[in-house]
Amino acid sequence: GNSVTQMEGPVTLSEEAFLTINCTYTATGYPSLFWYVQYPGEGLQLLLKATKADDKGSNKGFEATYRKETTSFHLEKGSVQVSDSAVYFCALIRNTGNQFYFGTGTSLTVIP
């Protein structure tokens, strides 16, 4: 089947710390991979995506690389800010293209 597993939170970091949120997936075929971010009281917004193996998605200082060999798509940021506090979701869409599969979400709190 298709599924996404991401590290459980909550995660609390000090400002300027390095962030890694792990994500691994199981999928038939060759899925596209996504990271979405949900700020308090809002809907989900696309943060970055990658559509094929070895692609790197990047946005707002966040990066993730599509690793087919380890079926992973870990999210990283070199220096987090208080404004990065949110819930982060890893997701995939399989090659039939009609359903997104989301991980359970990881809550990040960045303290000054």
Partner 1 sequence: DTAVSQTPKYLVTQMGNDKSIKCEQNLGHDTMYWYKQDSKKFLKIMFSYNNKELIINETVPNRFSPKSPDKAHLNLHINSLELGDSAVYFCASSWTGLNTEAFFGQGTRLTVV
Contact footprint for partner 1 (CB under 8 A): 30-32, 34, 36, 38, 42-46, 49, 51, 87, 89, 91, 93, 95, 97-100, 102, 104-105, 107
Q: How far is the CB of 16 from partner 1 (least distance, A)?
A: 26
Q: What is the Cβ-side half-sphere exposure of residue 13, based on CA atoms within 13 angstroms?
A: 22
Closer CB to partner 1, 18 or 30, in the complex: 30
Q: How far is the CB of 30 from partner 1 (least distance, A)?
A: 8
Closer CB to partner 1, 10 or 112, in the complex: 10
Closer CB to partner 1, 51 or 83, in the complex: 51
Cα 35 to the center of its chain, rounded Å = 3
Q: How far is the CB of 15 from partner 1 (least distance, A)?
A: 23
Task: Return all residues near 97 (Cβ < 8 A) that are at least 6 apart.
Answer: none
As a whole number of angstroms, the longest Cα–Cα distance in the chain is 44
Closer CB to partner 1, 17 or 87, in the complex: 87
Is there a contact between 34 and 66 (Cβ–Cβ < 8 Å)? Answer: no
Q: How far is the CB of 1 from partner 1 (least distance, A)?
A: 13
**Whole-Å CA distances, 70 to 13, 22, 24, 25, 80:** 26, 12, 8, 9, 26
